[in-house]
Chain A
Amino acid sequence: MPVQTIKERNAGKVGVVTIGATQEQGGTRTSVVKIGGESSLPFLHFEGEMPNKPVIAMEVVDRVPEEWNDEVKNAFTGVLDNPVAWAKKCVEGCGADLIFLRLQSADPELGNKSPEDCVKTVKDVLAAVGVPLAVVGCGVDEVDNKIIPAVAEACAGENLLLGFASQENYNTIVAACMVHKHNLIAQTPLDINICKQLNILITEMGLTADKIVLDTNIGGLGYGIEYAYSILERGRLGTLQGDRMLAMPTLGTVGFEAWKAKEANVSIEEFPGWGEQKERGILWEAMTATALLQSGLDLLVMRHPEAVKLVQKNIADLMEPSSV
């Protein structure tokens, strides 16, 4: 009996955001990353296009992240106090598509570094690696409103991905992205409506939709991942139905969320039933990533090289054209 494949006809598609710029484009990157462009649900190649594969950005912090799990820190032994070497290791050793640089030491309580110092760190990382860069601040609005514009100005031409814009604090960073031609991460607290509202506020300031990446906030495995999943799914469905204020590629801070979980961190001695911590922690991060890939995540910010490897393999498999 002949079976007809049911295909959804979609009116809209995810916009494409390009991060980084090569020499011809006015920057110094050796490669650029394009994300988005999907016209179907995730990996349904028979139904629509998925021109760009999901990419992995690896997290680099400009101070030694003492609080991180030893298992993650061990993977970067010798480079943790040097963001430049750390970034290099991510790209050369792990095949990271981007570097996600957190300027945490600008936080008054974590080093209180000046905007000039922050700019220098970014410049040094740019000089050391050829992949595009995402740069985010320390999370203190007043501080970030000084350092991110400084970075934006100093790195004009590099087409960075800068974060974070939130509903309470978006003017300064949006203006910096517009003037110096960078991309922006719009961050909202697990709510599709607020996500859309922030996009409207940002685009009404004049930044075009193809310069915005959405961070709808995710929850890690076992800690609210289902909310993140359904939000991303609603976003994609909205996009496919033609809602242009949701049609931006998405980003998720997978490593940050997954390694917060107790399950990723405690030892087998403490919880014998949970098995070896090393493997468990890596899988906690990888599982968080793979589940969210199924809901349409375009850019995964990750930490552990082994988890990255597993997810790279998963992405490669999922990008194989399907037989139907």
Chain B
Amino acid sequence: MDKFSVTIMPENLTVYVPQGTNLINAAKTAGIDIESPCGCRGTCGKCQVKIINLGGVDCPDSDYVLACQTRVEKDMVIEAPQFSRLTKHKVLLSSEEKESLLEHGYFKDVEVNPLCKKIYAELDKPDLTDSMSDLDRVRMHLMKNCGIEDVKISISALRKLSNVVREGDFNITLTIVTIKDSAEIINIEAGKPDSPSLGLAVDIGTTTVVVNLIDTENGKIIDSAGTYNKQSAYGSDVISRIVYCDENDNGLELLQKAVIETINELIDTVLKKNKINKSDIPVMVCAGNTVMSHMFLNMPPTFIRLEPYVPGASKYPVVSSKDLGININPDAKVITLPSVASYVGGDITSGVLSTLMSKSELLTLFIDVGTNGELVLGNSDWMVSCSCSAGPAFEGSGITCGMRAMDGAIDWIEIDKESMEVKVRAIGNKKPLGICGSGLIYSLSEMLDSGIIDRAGNILENGSSIRVRMGNEGKEFVLVFAKDSGSGRDVVVTEGDIKNLIRAKGAIFAGIRTMLQQVELDVDAIDRVYIAGGFGNYINITDAVNIGLFPDLPADKYAYIGNSSVHGAMLVLLCQEALYEIEDISDRITYIELSIGNKFMDEFISALFIPHTNLNLFQRCGV
């Protein structure tokens, strides 16, 4: 097969790819990731690039083409603009970064009992009267001095045992991982420990992946790193990724590889930075939604999206890192936290664990504002959950000028009610390229308040004249004119975008109302609301209530809890009992299937209005 060169500007990186490769994959080869929320179906229009030279001929006035639909047939020079790239992502790592987790409320009545410990042992030396094997010597020591019975040992540890024991003159450090009362020696070092006992907590999000490195002795986060999930190249939401798995022969392999690669890169970064050996990581706890967990473990996710929506498993076995290709100690234990149902996964059970809501009498509403829109309502007596499929609108997908929360994304706007002047702020103080989720919430709220749209989301003609106009897809409102934007294009909000956003917020609110109806409680019965998800921290509560995304409760009932998924994973690392508890949580949560009956549909339609059809539900916000 012929190979052609593809040069990507402005970096001027050249790669050689086989004929017929699409430009997304070509760019990938060069280490440049291009957005593809639709999974290379050519429907989202987010992967636009310019061809500036084709087969040696300059194309000075070329239009944008879709990278996923353009195949390499000649040597090419392309320009990949900023707005088509997956660049450094604003990833929320942890709200208690660098603080000791031992301060967490969870440890008020539970003792710290990490999954992994380092034990320094001075073994009795063998002689002709004491010719016990090296392993038995270790086991005897652990039984006598540490009360650890029946310890197992990994094969790689066993292989080096005899040498290491003698190297340290029978003084050794054992790294022991205990999962559900079953202890296993994962690593052995000669002499005294030269590094603390370590563990990794990983949140595998649909959009972003976060890795935290924990010192399991003092509960401190040594370091953390986050980036976008490389699976994004195959679709921005779980459904399009499942479809990708189903429609491509090696789809599942590619998706698993992508997420493992993402995790490995983050681990590498963290370990290198902190000068830690791979073999020093004996355990990793992963939290992800059900689809992410399936793909992570290389389990086919096909039936998750088919009626009656059954996952392969909701509790997952402990796996060795070498079986998954995770770049840490090959015998390290990888724990995948349990799910509830197809669309309420380990990230949610993990979040519930970290909020302590399952231990409290207070009625708590847990909202994960994300693509899947998982909700949990309950307390120590009962818990219900649902997934209201809000869609990726809040991640900027499916929105004309939508983008993720990265540099250049508008995350705050204000419209002057009289002059219709628009003030915007973009992340990183850059020129605006597009709008991210929180910016969209501000836009909706501000456009309603200034009379640019009506409560149904129609753009009114009598709004400000120069900013309201007909676009390709109906009416649109210009937030930033091309001359002030970073992309050289107008940043607009179209009527279609508004309807999309209304559907997203309507889904979340309808989910909340449906859950409340199931247990016959009023909104006012909710004692507190926890907003989870990386995106949660950028939402302004007043505006979110103003558009009807969240219930109209006093602001002091709301709390941002950040990435509660990774938080729960860290708690599990620090407490063996937490693993039992999270399985208990996963068993106790009742999943509500929203597609049954007409309750949700009815609530959904009534929430497709700003803030809501029943304005009485939003009296506090002064409607």
Contact = CB atoms under 8 A, between A and B. Distances in A.
Interface stretch (A128-136, A155-163, A196-204): A196-204
A167 interface: yes
B615 A193 contact: no
Interface in B439-464: 454-456, 458, 460-461
A208 interface: no
B456 A193 contact: no
Interface in A50-81: none
A204 B455 contact: yes
Contacts of A200: 455, 609, 613, 615
Interface string B582-607: 00000000000000000000100110
A168 B458 CA distance: 8
Nearest to B602: A193
A30 interface: no
Contact of A193 (B455, B460, B461, B613): B613
Interface string B70-95: 00000000000000000000000000
The 5 closest A-B pairs by CB, nearest first: A193-B606, A193-B605, A197-B609, A196-B613, A193-B613
A191 interface: yes
A11 to B, nearest CB: 13
B456 A201 contact: yes
A201 B454 contact: yes
26 contacts: A167-B456, A168-B458, A171-B460, A191-B605, A193-B602, A193-B605, A193-B606, A193-B608, A193-B609, A193-B613, A194-B605, A196-B606, A196-B613, A196-B614, A197-B455, A197-B608, A197-B609, A197-B613, A200-B455, A200-B613, A200-B615, A201-B454, A201-B455, A201-B456, A204-B454, A204-B455
Contacts of B613: 193, 196-197, 200, 245
A194 B609 CA distance: 9
Contacts of A196: 606, 613-614
A94 B63 CA distance: 68
Interface of A is mostly: helix
A43 to B, nearest CB: 28
Interface in B457-480: 458, 460-461
Contacts of B609: 193, 197, 200
Interface in A188-243: 191, 193-194, 196-197, 200-201, 204
Interface bracket on A: 10 to 19
A197 B602 contact: no
A200 B460 CA distance: 15
A313 B96 CA distance: 76
Contacts of A167: 456
A234 to B, nearest CB: 10
Contacts of A245: 613, 615
A193 B461 CA distance: 25
Interface in A128-149: none
Interface of B: 454-456, 458, 460-461, 602, 605-606, 608-609, 613-615
Contacts of A191: 605
B253 to A, nearest CB: 45
Q: Of B454, B461, B608, B615, which is in contact with the most chain A CB atoms at under 10 Å from its CB?
A: B454
A7 B615 CA distance: 29
A194 B461 CA distance: 22
Contacts of B614: 196
A182 B104 CA distance: 65
A158 to B, nearest CB: 28
A171 B461 CA distance: 10
Contacts of B455: 197, 200-201, 204
Contacts of A168: 458
A196 B607 CA distance: 11
A260 to B, nearest CB: 26
A243 to B, nearest CB: 8
A193 to B, nearest CB: 4
Contacts of B608: 193, 197
Nearest to A167: B456
A171 B459 CA distance: 11
A118 B394 CA distance: 48
Contacts of B460: 171
Contacts of B606: 193, 196
B455 to A, nearest CB: 6
Nearest to A194: B605
Contacts of B605: 191, 193-194
B457 to A, nearest CB: 10
A197 B460 CA distance: 16
Contacts of A171: 460-461
Nearest to B606: A193
A70 B615 CA distance: 49
Given A196-B613, A197-B613, A200-B455, 17 more contacts: A168-B458, A171-B460, A171-B461, A191-B605, A193-B602, A193-B605, A193-B606, A193-B608, A193-B609, A194-B605, A196-B614, A197-B455, A197-B608, A200-B615, A201-B456, A245-B613, A245-B615
A171 B460 CA distance: 9
Nearest to A172: B461
B458 to A, nearest CB: 8
A191 B608 CA distance: 12
A30 B4 CA distance: 87
A193 B599 CA distance: 12
Nearest to A234: B602
A131 B613 CA distance: 36
A196 B608 CA distance: 11
A282 B460 CA distance: 45
A174 B100 CA distance: 62
Q: Which of B458, B613, B614 has the most CB of A within 10 A?
A: B613
B599 to A, nearest CB: 13
Nearest to B607: A193
A8 B173 CA distance: 80
Nearest to A238: B614
Contacts of B615: 200, 245
A194 B608 CA distance: 9
B473 to A, nearest CB: 15
A142 to B, nearest CB: 14
Contacts of A204: 454-455
Nearest to A196: B613
A16 to B, nearest CB: 23
Contacts of A194: 605
A193 B600 CA distance: 13
B171 to A, nearest CB: 74
A244 to B, nearest CB: 10
B498 to A, nearest CB: 14
A187 to B, nearest CB: 14
Nearest to B604: A193
A46 to B, nearest CB: 30
Contacts of A193: 602, 605-606, 608-609, 613
A171 B453 CA distance: 12
A317 B454 CA distance: 45
A196 B455 CA distance: 12
A280 to B, nearest CB: 33
A236 B108 CA distance: 54
Contacts of B454: 201, 204
A200 B608 CA distance: 13
A195 B402 CA distance: 31
A200 B548 CA distance: 16
A50 B455 CA distance: 34
A14 B455 CA distance: 24
A288 B37 CA distance: 50
A171 B454 CA distance: 11
A179 to B, nearest CB: 15
A168 B455 CA distance: 12
A168 B475 CA distance: 13
